[in-house]
A and B are shown apart, each in its own frame.
Chain A
Amino acid sequence: MSLSGIAARAVVAAGIALTVVGAVRANEIKGKVSVQGIKSAANIAVYVDAIPDKKFEAPKEHIVVDQRKMSFIPHVVAVQQGTTVDFLNSDSVGHNVYWPSISGNKSLKHNLGTWPQGDKKPFQFNDLGVASLLCNVHPEMSGYVVIVPTPYFTVTDKDGNFEIKNVPAGKYTLKTWSEDGKPTTQGVDVSAASTTVELTVKK
């Protein structure tokens, strides 16, 4: 094989390799959520909406929502559809966990009952939407499970910052859910290793 032939093959191989790597490269979406008319930018779920023709397996790992000092911890948790959430009671007082609907669909309401300190009660969330966690004896207790269709999601920190890792390159729809604000939707092109997005959530 001539030298030029070897060079040509090397170029083709490199091109193929780059293409393959580009297709599976783990990029990230990061940014900041600003709020208007809302007290805080914390605890806002940011997630990639459903991707056409793409299905994701339900994760096997369980997520824990704790009841501690008469609060749901964390206050907002985002989970992929099909995730099992373990509801833990760390308090010495009796608690109850129920949600009256999932995103307004009352047929999806559920009451997990009561269980002693230190015990957990699992529930698999198979329906998309938001479950408002309540306790029927401590009505001040409030928490949310945001069930999203993809594994690409996060919840903002106290300053509204967020970071979604391991997102394949592509064009997606980014959505938010917050306790007090309206949902926002924004297109995002994840082609670079890190894509920065600025989002605004309004009351």
Chain B
Amino acid sequence: MKDRVLNTSIMTGLTAVVVVVIGMLASVPKSSAIPAFSRKYQTSCTTCHSNYPELNDFGEAFKKNGFKFPKDDESFVKEPPVMLGAKAQKEAFPTAVYPGEIPGTVPIAFRYEGNFNVNRRQPAGFIQQNGFAPRTDLFAPNTLTIIAAGSFGQNLSFWIDDDISVGGANADGGLGDGYLKYNDLGHAIGLPKNALNVRFGQFELDLPFTQARSIYLSPFDIYEQASAAGSLGTTKNPTIFGEPQRGVEFGGTPNNGNFAWSVAVVNGSNADAALRSSKDVYVRVSQKFNLERDSESRNAIQAAGPTGPRDHTSLRAGFFYYYGKNQQNQDGALFPGLATIQEPFYRVGGDLRFKYRKLELYGLGMYGHDDNHVVTEGDPPTIAGAPAVTFSGGFAGANYWFYPWLIGTFHYDAVNSHADFINGNPLSQYQTRNRFSPGFQVLVRANIKVVGEYQYTFGQPYVDPITGNALFFRPNAFQAGIDYVF
């Protein structure tokens, strides 16, 4: 019966989405209105995106090249930049300011995202213990993001994105990424193009699969995992792997972008101010194996398909490692009488991504380890080592382009956390919290999307108020969203 009610709700939601999509498709497409780069180059989103914000091979090359076309960039620019000094001023340096440029028009774009949520009907006992969630919620979250990006001449590029309405009416949002990047730093010492770049500011780490610019409505759960020992000890690590960090990153994409490396030194407190003097280090390397048979296609930015350029058939394999040393009780307030508690931690993992024509398969596995302690009260209190707080998990998924405008999506997420399970945060039936998320995405225009995702999630325990039996409830949900950029 519950399933039937749920199915009816889902069908109602799906019908509404289909009606909206058909209505939007029925009007005649005229143009693709898009953000800053589209205006600069007078080109459609699809030049760089296979399903925005996911980049195609050309978009990846554009990004790696400092937001410039990989070849002959100047010939494609339709909005000339404003020169901040003649090019010949380079010869006058250091007696003159080194010449630069800024975009010809303010390179600002906007993105709006709003979701329609249908939640599974909650049993009475579950509501009593976990609080009430309405069956439906219209356009939540309701997010407007400002994006500014571009280049300041040959080697400098920048990116700033800020969610300005995420917490309700007139609430403040937060800065996502805000960085300045210098490309091709190694040119002067004869390194291959873009083999050595550096960026400064606040940025998402060089993650194997971006969280900030994900196409999905639900996050990659393993990226969001926080290590907290709770009743098991002192570990309380604020670092969230998938959130932006403040720092400096060196990296490069030599060998035609097939090899990629990066080393970042970051605060470890995400977008917040530093909480400790030591810095964290993140390292990532990956190698793309280009599986195109035709050598000309293999070396081109995109492969030459029988019906047009397409992404290379390829396999990218990568490895990442994050190390930090969390500190607590620096001022003695948390554990009076004890010194600063040092708790080194690391995250390590590997990833794979395979692309073949209209199909994309990917997966990531990750393990987290935090040193842990127990404090024994007394006079004076004592501190001793305790079993480490660990977690493991990852995600795997697939995307398939039925048409260039209709994409089927799926991802499976799993997080295995003994500490979370013991502490009941978040509540789960087993130590592994998992979620299946099939969905669809419809590009109504190159800059307008309708997105749907069903989230079949792990069981959460509750007690039946009548029988007193321990039961489990899966708070599954369906989300449909609109998403447009301009």
A-side interface residues toward B, CB under 8 Å? 69-70, 91-96, 98, 111, 113-116, 135-140
Please list 11 pairs of residues, one from A and one from B, whose beta carbons are closer than 8 Å in the complex, sorted by A's number: A70-B42, A70-B76, A91-B76, A94-B301, A96-B309, A98-B307, A111-B306, A111-B307, A114-B304, A114-B308, A138-B43
Q: From B67-75, B102-110, B181-189, B255-263, give the one contacting chain A.
A: B67-75
B198 interface hit (Cβ, 8 Å): no
* Inter-subunit contact A93/B296 (CB<8 Å): no
> Please, how many angstroms separate the alpha-carbon atoms of A108 and B92 in the complex?
61
In the bound complex, residues from chain A placing their C-beta under 8 Å from that of B41 are 70
Look across to chain A and name the residue whose beta carbon is closest to the beta carbon of B306.
A113
A66 to chain B, nearest CB (A): 13
Which residues 277-311 of B have a CB within 8 angstroms of A? 296, 300-302, 304-309
> Please, how many angstroms separate the alpha-carbon atoms of A70 and B40 in the complex?
13
Look across to chain B and name the residue whose beta carbon is closest to the beta carbon of A139.
B44
Number of interface residues of B (CB under 8 A): 27
> Please, how many angstroms separate the alpha-carbon atoms of A92 and B299 in the complex?
13
Which residues 120-168 of B have a CB within 8 angstroms of A? none
* Inter-subunit contact A116/B308 (CB<8 Å): no
* Inter-subunit contact A116/B76 (CB<8 Å): no
A98-B307, A111-B308, A113-B307 are contacts. A140–B42 as well, Cβ < 8 Å?
A: yes
B446 interface hit (Cβ, 8 Å): yes
Q: How many A-B residue pairs have CB under 8 A?
A: 71
In the bound complex, residues from chain B placing their C-beta under 8 Å from that of A95 are 308-309
In the bound complex, residues from chain A placing their C-beta under 8 Å from that of B46 are 137-139
* Inter-subunit contact B309/A69 (CB<8 Å): no
> Please, how many angstroms separate the alpha-carbon atoms of A70 and B69 in the complex?
12
Look across to chain A and name the residue whose beta carbon is closest to the beta carbon of B296.
A116
* Inter-subunit contact A136/B302 (CB<8 Å): no
B256 to chain A, nearest CB (A): 14
> Please, how many angstroms separate the alpha-carbon atoms of A135 and B307 in the complex?
9
B119 to chain A, nearest CB (A): 38
B427 to chain A, nearest CB (A): 47
* Inter-subunit contact B304/A69 (CB<8 Å): no
* Inter-subunit contact B306/A116 (CB<8 Å): no
A113 to chain B, nearest CB (A): 5
In the bound complex, residues from chain B placing their C-beta under 8 Å from that of A92 are 69-72
Q: Mark B6-42, 1 if CB is under 8 A from A, else 0.
A: 0000000000000000000000000110000000011
> Please, how many angstroms separate the alpha-carbon atoms of A95 and B348 in the complex?
41
In the bound complex, residues from chain B placing their C-beta under 8 Å from that of A96 are 307-309
Kindly list 19 other residue pairs between chains A and B, CB separation below 8 angstroms, not including A70-B76, A140-B42: A70-B42, A70-B43, A94-B302, A94-B309, A95-B308, A96-B309, A111-B308, A113-B305, A113-B307, A114-B305, A116-B304, A135-B308, A136-B308, A137-B46, A137-B47, A137-B302, A138-B46, A138-B47, A139-B46
B484 interface hit (Cβ, 8 Å): no
> Please, how many angstroms separate the alpha-carbon atoms of A114 and B69 in the complex?
19
B42 to chain A, nearest CB (A): 7
B75 to chain A, nearest CB (A): 6
B80 interface hit (Cβ, 8 Å): no
Look across to chain B and name the residue whose beta carbon is closest to the beta carbon of A94.
B309
B85 interface hit (Cβ, 8 Å): no
In the bound complex, residues from chain B placing their C-beta under 8 Å from that of A115 are 304
Look across to chain A and name the residue whose beta carbon is closest to the beta carbon of B38.
A140
